[in-house]
Structure formats: structure tokens, C-alpha cells
Amino acid sequence: MLRTISDLFEALKPARRGASPAEQEHALQLATAVLLVEVMRADAAHLETEKPVVLAALREKFALAEDELARLYELAGERSIEATDLHGFTSRLNAAFDEPQRVRILELLWRVAYADGRLDAHENHLMRRLADLLHVRRADAIGAKLRAERDAGGA
């Protein structure tokens, strides 16, 4: 079933009592997508290099049709621009995912940061903040970073 942009906007609102599993899944997808876009936007000089990595990460994490993926990416870009903080997004992921899943999300975020073959200081700072907000232990955060760096070709 195709999701409309308004469905995805609704998904980011705080979970209400009795929210359907589909609504909860939409909210998780959007929160994850916004974080990926935030990392992409941290180094604005390489957006076109990083966009395919964001889409690949979303494709890997969620089983979405290409049109759903495109709409999710578009909405995440809008929400990223409007966002005043990252806590609302990370708290939703913290509530839904266990530690290994959050480490995997962090690794996907690191892949975006390394997509252009280098790590910008703003990206590094944002990634450290996201690791803290996702309550990922330091050793696990470093492991996720090293795996993403290795996959990017040792940037």
C-alpha cells in the first residue's frame, strides 16, 4: 500500500495510545531517515555523493518500494530542515530498537559520513552526538565507525 506524505508526517507525532503497528513503523522509518539526511547535510559540499548511500541504508533497513523510498527521502529532507534538535528522532529509535540495532543504525550513519571518501569535522561532531543520543557504548560506536570506514575504502 502506498503511503502519502501526510501519513508520514503523522507518523512522526508522538506515539499515541493504540497506534497501529504500521503507524509505529512509519514513525521509525521517518526518524531513521531524518538522521541519515542530517549526516548527509553536515557536509553540504558532497550531497550528491551521499544521497545514494542514504537511500541504500533506508533500503537495507526497511522493506520499501522505490516510490515509498523516494517519498520518505523527500519528507526526511523537509523534516531535517525544520528540526530544531535531534532528540525527538533519537528517542523514538531508542524506544523501538535494542542496542545491537542502534549500533547498526549508527554504522549506517557512519557510512553516509564516509560516502565522499573523507570525514568532515562537522560530520565527526554530529556522529559523536548521535552515538551519545542513541546510547551506544563508546567501544561499539568506535567499532561501527571503523566498519563504515573500512567499507568506504579506508577514508
Q: Name all contacts of 151-155 with Cβ < 8 Å and 24+ positions apart.
A: 151/111, 151/114, 152/111, 152/114, 152/115, 152/117, 153/117, 155/114, 155/117, 155/118, 155/119
The CATH number of the domain covering residues in 5-151: 1.10.3680.10
Q: pLDDT of the chain along its 155 residues, tens only?
A: 444 444 444 444 444 556 678 878 889 999 999 999 999 999 877 678 889 999 999 999 998 999 999 999 999 999 999 999 999 999 999 999 999 999 999 999 999 999 988 888 999 999 999 999 999 999 999 999 999 999 887 55
pLDDT at position 13, please?
47
* Residue type (1 letter), 29: Q
Gyration radius from the chain CA atoms:
15
Contacts (Cβ under 8 Å, ≥6 apart) of 72: 8, 29, 30, 33, 58, 64
pLDDT at position 56, please?
93
Contact 90, 130 (CB under 8 A): yes
How far apart (Å, rounded) are the C-alpha atoms in residues 69 and 90? 20
pLDDT at position 53, please?
93
